[in-house]
Amino acid sequence: MAVDRIGHAFADQGLLAQALTHRSAGAPHNERLEFLGDGVVNLLVADTLFQRWPKADEGALTRARAELVREASLAAIARELQLGERLTMGPGEMKSGGHRRDSILADALEAVVAAIYIDAGFEACRTVVMPWFEASLAALPVGRPEKDAKTRLQEWLQGRQRPLPVYELVSESGDDHAKLFLARCTTLDPPLTADGEGTSRRNAEQVAAAALLDKLDISK
């Protein structure tokens, strides 16, 4: 069961039930818990990185935290905990595969973190939650986590005193709960264009930047 995988015995089972209830199923749902959990996760990860990497600068710590708490990373943890199978959702959301969607899984994970925090306090929450991130923490280059694609592209251009890339939203498609964004990244020098798709505009821009970086590698 997912509860066993979570590793916390809830004194208040209602908190867990709320954390695993999507808004499509009606109130009480997990959006307020998600808000709190987002802050708790960021603090837990930031504190862990700060303690583990005493020589890392602010930029390295910020990039590492961003990698660990990004939507895809949180969704991967939610899948390991089998949260998708436990989600309570409305019929339409369930039919559309919402229990497999990264955004919904990441939100549910944050809500579960908040539920643990409310149920047992900060230190107990840390004890339960941080082992979920251990594999991802171990995979990061200590003190020098890889920068995201947009940052790498910007620094590559700046280092050669060339104009910064331009991003534009090409299109949006899908229902409100399952939108797909198409973004375009363009550079003037060299003149290149690449597109990327994602579940948010930011994700789509990152995919487009990564695709353009691939083209730069090919052109070398």
Q: How far apart are CA 113 and CA 128, in angstroms?
A: 9
Query: What band does 218 get if pLDDT is binned at 50, 70 and 90?
Result: very low
Q: Which long-range contacts (CB under 8 A, 24 or more apart) does 170-176 make?
A: 170/195, 175/96
Grade residue 143 by pLDDT with cuts at 50, 70 and 90: low
Q: Which of 10-14, 119-123, 171-175 has the lowest mean pLDDT?
A: 171-175
Instruction: For residue 110, say whether it is annotated as part of any ligand binding site.
Output: yes
155 is an annotated ligand-binding site residue:
no
d(CA 220, CA 218): 6
Over residues 171-206, the pLDDT tens digits come to 988 776 667 899 999 999 999 999 999 888 888 898
Mean pLDDT value across residues 32-39:
96
Torsion of CA 14, 15, 20, 24, to 10 degrees: 80
Q: Read off the pLDDT of each residue in 54-61 and give the average, rounded to a whole number.
A: 85
Question: Hey, is 48 helix, strand or coil?
Answer: helix
Task: Tell whether pTM > 0.75.
Answer: no
For range 149-154, the mean pLDDT: 90
pLDDT of 38 strictly over 70:
yes
Predicted pLDDT at 177? 65
Structural domains in the chain plus CATH codes: 2-139 (1.10.1520.10), 149-219 (3.30.160.20)
CA distance 93 to 111: 18
Beta strand 166-173 with 180-187 is antiparallel
Mean pLDDT, rounded, for 55-64: 86
Q: What percent of the chain has pLDDT over 90?
A: 55
Q: Annotated binding residue at 107? A: yes
Q: Which residues are catalytic?
A: 38, 110
User: What is the tens place of the pLDDT at every residue in 81-117?
Assistant: 999 889 988 888 777 777 788 889 999 999 999 999 9
Residue 58's pLDDT band (cuts 50, 70, 90)? confident
Confidence (pLDDT) at 220: 39
Average pLDDT over all residues of the chain: 88
Look at residues 198, 138, 139, 155 and name the one whose alpha carbon lies nearest to residue 174: 198
> How far is the C-alpha of 94 from the C-alpha of 79, rounded, in Å?
16
pLDDT over 60 (residue 10): yes
Q: Name the residue with higher pLDDT: 25 or 143.
A: 25
